């Protein structure tokens, strides 16, 4: 989170300066834009690299269950010439949508609709590329790109801060509290009254595992959560990387079981 904020501040400064100068040159049409682009080329390259790293950092801060793209892929494809004119319409709205869904599913204030802001930002970037040769219009579009950048990433970083704070409150409730029962309730009775609690996808999975004494099957996860098969696989991969779970087999049937370290 701190890395994202630092990057954001640095990119804001560079983007503000370069976009402001480009907007001034843009009022003079193609030749003005060409001169501005040439003069600012080193800053544009540095700004692009930092912006890509910022985008990667934001994707990484989004819980795995809400990601539609791998962070590294989402960021690096922005550097591919021409293709990136299409990719901006995929990666920016998707990132915004992921944060919108994560906040909404955990009953948190979503703020401005980040998917819409991502689409607006993508449109502004493409418009800037297309209108670079048009006097006056080019300058106005460059200014719009700066505004769209600020609106989009301010909302995304605010959302990532809220989610990071929520993730810090990890699995604190005892099993019988989550089940809505008392300490003397039987295991079967507690399991039949499991109620999903607000939290990140990983928190929900760990709480479910705690409720089932640390061991889950894929069917149990599917029945007790709203996650798709792909989202569950992504969560399990993340849990394995973080050392939360190990894969085992049922001693009698051989069926796959996921054992979580939630004791």
Distance between CA 209 and CA 206 in Å, rounded? Answer: 5
According to DSSP, residue 15 is labeled: H
Longest Cα–Cα distance in the chain: 80
Q: Does residue 162 carry a pLDDT above 70?
A: yes
Mean pLDDT confidence for 37-64: 82
pLDDT of residue 125: 92
Q: Does residue 205 carry a pLDDT above 80?
A: yes
Q: 76 to each of 17, 60, 170, how far by Cα in Å?
A: 24, 13, 32
Q: With 0-12 CB in 10 A as exposed, 13-18 as middle and 19+ as buried, what is 180?
A: exposed
pLDDT tens by residue, 75-85: 999 999 999 99
Q: Pick the closest to residue 107 from 161, 156, 151, 162 (CA basis).
A: 162
How many CB atoms neighbour CB 31 within 10 A? 11
Supply the Cα-derived Rg of the chain in whole angstroms.
23
Task: Pick the range with the lowest mean pLDDT from 2-16, 163-177, 188-202.
Answer: 163-177
Q: 144 to each of 18, 124, 138, how far by Cα in Å?
A: 13, 6, 10
Q: Pick the closest to residue 32 from 137, 143, 145, 121 (CA basis).
A: 137
Distance between CA 110 and CA 119 in Å, rounded? Answer: 17
Helix/strand/coil percent split, the chain, to 5: 70, 5, 25
Q: Is 40 in contact with 21 (CB distance < 8 Å)?
A: yes
Distance between CA 118 and CA 217 in Å, rounded? Answer: 37
Say what percent of the chain tops pLDDT 70: 74
Mean pLDDT confidence for 246-253: 71
Per-residue pLDDT band for 254 (boundaries 50, 70, 90) equals low
Q: Does residue 167 carry a pLDDT above 70?
A: no
Q: Is 133 in contact with 33 (CB distance < 8 Å)?
A: yes
Token couple for 263? 């004791």
Mean pLDDT confidence for 199-210: 83
Q: Does residue 182 carry a pLDDT above 50?
A: no
Task: Pick the range with the lowest mean pLDDT from 6-15, 99-108, 177-186.
Answer: 177-186
pLDDT of residue 124: 93
Q: β-strand 256-260 against 245-249: which pairing, if any?
A: antiparallel
pLDDT of residue 83: 96
Per-residue pLDDT band for 25 (boundaries 50, 70, 90) equals low
Token couple for 141? 């579009």
Mean pLDDT confidence for 23-36: 64
- Phi, psi dihedrals of residue 261, rounded to the nearest 5°: -90, 80
Q: Does residue 73 carry a pLDDT above 90?
A: yes
Residue with more model confidence, 133 or 239: 239
Distance between CA 191 and CA 90 in Å, rounded? Answer: 41
Mean pLDDT confidence for 111-129: 93
Per the listing, tokens 């409150």 go with 169
Q: Pick the closest to residue 166 from 7, 1, 56 (CA basis).
A: 1
């Amino acid at each position: 989170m701190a890395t994202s904020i630092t990057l954001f501040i640095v990119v804001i400064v560079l983007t503000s300066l370069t976009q402001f100068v480009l907007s001034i040159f843009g009022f003079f049409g193609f030749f003005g834009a060409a001169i501005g682009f040439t003069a600012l080329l080193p800053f544009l390259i540095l700004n692009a690299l930092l912006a890509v790293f910022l985008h990667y950092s934001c994707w990484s801060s989004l819980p795995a269950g809400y990601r539609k793209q791998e962070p590294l892929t989402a960021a690096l494809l922005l550097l591919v010439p021409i293709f990136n004119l299409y990719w901006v319409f995929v990666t920016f709205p998707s990132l915004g949508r992921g944060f919108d869904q994560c906040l909404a599913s955990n009953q948190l204030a979503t703020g401005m609709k980040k998917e819409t802001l991502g689409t607006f930002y993508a449109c502004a970037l493409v418009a800037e590329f297309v209108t670079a040769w048009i006097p006056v219009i080019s300058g106005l579009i460059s200014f719009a790109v700066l505004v769209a950048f600020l609106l989009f990433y301010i909302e995304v970083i605010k959302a990532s801060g809220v989610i990071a704070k929520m993730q810090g409150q990890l699995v604190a409730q005892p099993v019988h509290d989550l089940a809505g029962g008392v300490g003397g309730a039987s295991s079967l009775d507690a399991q039949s009254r499991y109620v999903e609690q607000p939290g990140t996808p990983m928190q929900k999975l760990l709480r479910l595992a705690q409720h089932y004494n640390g061991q889950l099957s894929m069917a149990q996860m599917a029945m007790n959560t709203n996650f798709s098969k792909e989202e569950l696989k992504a969560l399990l991969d993340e849990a394995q990387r973080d050392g939360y779970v190990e894969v085992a087999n049922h001693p009698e049937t051989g069926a796959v079981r996921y054992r979580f370290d939630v004791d």
